[in-house]
Chains A and B, each alone.
Chain A
Amino acid sequence: MYREFVTVLRREYLKWARVPIWVASSFVIPVLYLVLFGQAFDLDRLFPAGADGSDYVRAALLGAPNYFSYFAVGMVAFVTLTASLYSGTGILFDKQLGIHQRTVATPAPRSALFAGTLAFRAWSACWPAFLAFGVALAFADVPGLIGLSVRPSVSALGIAEVLVAEGLLALMFTALFLSFGYVLDSNEAYFGITSLLNLPILFTSNAMFPQATMPPWLQTVTAYNPASLAVNVMRQNLFATEGYPYPPTLYLLGLLAWAVALIALALYLSARSLRVR
């Protein structure tokens, strides 16, 4: 079981590491998003202190020191989503190239195959997010750029919660997109569905804009969006806690529920795709 798991992990890693564009894009995307979106959409400049509505905007940020800091944490979630978007393509290609068949003919436990794929893909969605986080922090030291500023007294538990939230979010999105890989046969269908989902997931979350500024129906959707849940955990721990209806642990539980449900679904679909007809 362990041996097969490590074998799958190694195969996924080698395939990933051998495609420089793939590796490079995971480096570039977080930076690009932060530079382009982050520096362009700045609510603080739109509503400078003292201007009409600026108090309202400031309050909606729920304790974040400035809009970029608020936004940067949201981007961590969005980068996780973007980086996991293509998790299922490997499955599709394996099916098309007959590699899937070879795997079916081996005695490797199906759960080990699935776990190896999920683990690697989730990892490869996690670290661009951490990179985004690091880059946002570093922006503070670049003249002319606004950076992410967190409160000086973030606790060890707080950091742990941030890491767990990121891990669960990556697992959850990866499981979701792996599921499409297991179910679908055509690349067109896969890319169609994933690109359809990408932005709606972002815009129905509070990653970029505060929930309080949304119409009520959208607020409901946003409250349950896994990206919002992860972002709530992160922001509460990184900024001064203000105006959140629930403590981080509750959001973590919600995120865990999402992850468990989607991993179960993906595991089922993976077993189904390996079943003999």
Chain B
Amino acid sequence: MTEAIAAEQLGKVYANGVEAVRAVDLSVAHGEIFGFLGPNGAGKTTLISMLTTLLRPTHGSARVEGVDVVERPEQVRRRIGLVFQRSTADEVLTGRENLEIAAGLNGLSPAESRPRIREVLERLDLTEAADRRVSTYSGGMRRRLEIGAGIVHDPGVLFLDEPTLGLDPQGRAGFWEYVRELRARHGMTIFLTTHYLDEADQLSDRVAIIDHGLVLKTGAPASLKEALGSDVVQVRPSDPNSGLRSVLERIPGVRAVEPAPVDAAIRVRVARAEAFVPAVVRACDAAGIELAAVETRKPSLDEVFLSVTGREYREETEGNPTNGPGSRARRAGGR
């Protein structure tokens, strides 16, 4: 059986010379939820645009449900739904009308689309606002409507470009639940890009990490985290110049020590964080270092991201920093 989405050496160089996506190989199975994770400018939208026939690749090839995106774009468009990163609704139309238009352009008859639209509005919590103009919608409502417009026609493969951008935690949780339900009930294949690590973690069967147009790692969130093989203990001294690092390095069982990106804290990788904390406290006591905070963390995709890109995830998305702990991240990022 063919994959739902396949790409070989897929790449895009824009007219201005920006190499937005470089030689991406990809294989997404039917019914899989696949998360594409990367910071701003990583190439997520470019990649999704090529897979959805909106942008012509400059290298390589891609197929959706076995159909080549360049050779037979109309056939691909019949099989997909797309949720854009930016809002594409008609402001003067109501939410319901926008969905009706989306359904009509995908070839659904009014009779076919009516029950679907009712369901979509209900599941996206828009029933009450359905007959109000979109211009009166909040940001989150627009976002949810956008999602609705991508799925009214019940596509086989759904592409979502940062679907939960601007949703509150409740809205995001509701969306995740809906995505899982779509997969369970309709067997939909779901390809989503996100720069929320927890979203990729919670929702995806598999995750690909993309940065500077390159896929750096692909795998199930759990296996990616496992591969990292360690918990993290983050220790913050009261006095930044206390020589904490050398003290920590001498504690038995330490796998790695590195500066954390904030507050002169130090990160220690160990097998089991809970068991390690008492040793940290004792060692610091003995060395006369006063501690401000000790935190433990199971590995997160955040850590995975750090280990594959050499950069702290959050810094890059916030467009940070030029000095302090960030300069380390920069050097590492500039490999």
Identify which of B53, B55, B101, B109 contacts A10 (C-beta below 8 A): B101
Identify which of B93, B108, B149 contacts A15 (C-beta below 8 A): B93
Identify which of B56, B78, B105, B108 contacts A103 (C-beta below 8 A): B105
> CA A15 – CA B107 in complex, angstroms?
21
Nearest CB of A to B58, in Å: 11
> CA A97 – CA B86 in complex, angstroms?
9
> CA A102 – CA B90 in complex, angstroms?
11
Identify which of A18, A107, A277 contacts B77 (C-beta below 8 A): A107
**Interface range, B side:** 20 to 34
> CA A132 – CA B250 in complex, angstroms?
93
Identify which of A15, A18, A99 contacts B88 (C-beta below 8 A): A99
Contacts A15-B92, A98-B88; A108 near B105 (Cβ below 8 A) = yes
Contacts A15-B90, A101-B88; A276 near B55 (Cβ below 8 A) = yes
Q: Are A105 and B104 in contact (CB under 8 A)?
A: no
Chain A residues near B73 (CB, 8 Å)?
Answer: 276
Chain B 95-113 against A: per-residue CB contact (8 Å), 1 yes, 0 no?
A: 0010011101111110000
Nearest CB of A to B78, in Å: 4
Q: Are B56 and A14 in contact (CB under 8 A)?
A: no
Chain A residues near B78 (CB, 8 Å)?
Answer: 107
Q: Are A6 and B82 in contact (CB under 8 A)?
A: no
Chain B residues near A8 (CB, 8 Å)?
Answer: 105
Nearest CB of A to B79, in Å: 9
Contacts A105-B82, A107-B78, A276-B54; A3 near B88 (Cβ below 8 A) = no
B87 at the interface (CB under 8 A from A): yes
Chain A residues near B90 (CB, 8 Å)?
Answer: 11, 14-15, 99
Chain A residues near B88 (CB, 8 Å)?
Answer: 97-99, 101-102
Identify which of A11, A99, A105, A277 contacts B52 (C-beta below 8 A): A105
Chain B residues near A18 (CB, 8 Å)?
Answer: 92-93, 133
Q: Are A101 and B93 in contact (CB under 8 A)?
A: no
Chain A residues near B102 (CB, 8 Å)?
Answer: 102, 106
Q: Are B104 and A102 in contact (CB under 8 A)?
A: no
A39 at the interface (CB under 8 A from B): no
Q: Are B52 and A19 in contact (CB under 8 A)?
A: no
Tell me the nearest residue of chain B to A100, going by C-beta.
B88
List residues of A (88-120) whose CB comes within 8 Å of B's CBs.
97-99, 101-108
A7 at the interface (CB under 8 A from B): yes
Chain A residues near B89 (CB, 8 Å)?
Answer: 99
Identify which of A3, A101, A277 contacts B107 (C-beta below 8 A): A3
> CA A226 – CA B253 in complex, angstroms?
89
> CA A18 – CA B107 in complex, angstroms?
25
B263 at the interface (CB under 8 A from A): no
Contacts A102-B88, A105-B82; A14 near B107 (Cβ below 8 A) = no
List residues of B (246-273) whose CB comes within 8 Å of A's CBs.
none
> CA A277 – CA B70 in complex, angstroms?
11
Tell me the nearest residue of chain B to A106, going by C-beta.
B105
Identify which of A7, A11, A97, A102 contacts B93 (C-beta below 8 A): A11
> CA A18 – CA B93 in complex, angstroms?
8
7 CB-based A-B contacts, threshold 8 Å = A3-B107, A8-B105, A98-B84, A102-B84, A104-B53, A105-B52, A107-B106
Which residues of B are in contact with A by a Cβ distance under 8 Å? 52-56, 73-74, 77-78, 80, 82, 84, 86-90, 92-93, 97, 100-102, 104-109, 133, 149
Apart from A15-B93, A97-B88, A277-B56, list 11 A-B contacts with CB within 8 A.
Answer: A3-B104, A3-B107, A7-B105, A10-B101, A11-B101, A15-B92, A18-B133, A102-B82, A103-B105, A105-B80, A106-B105
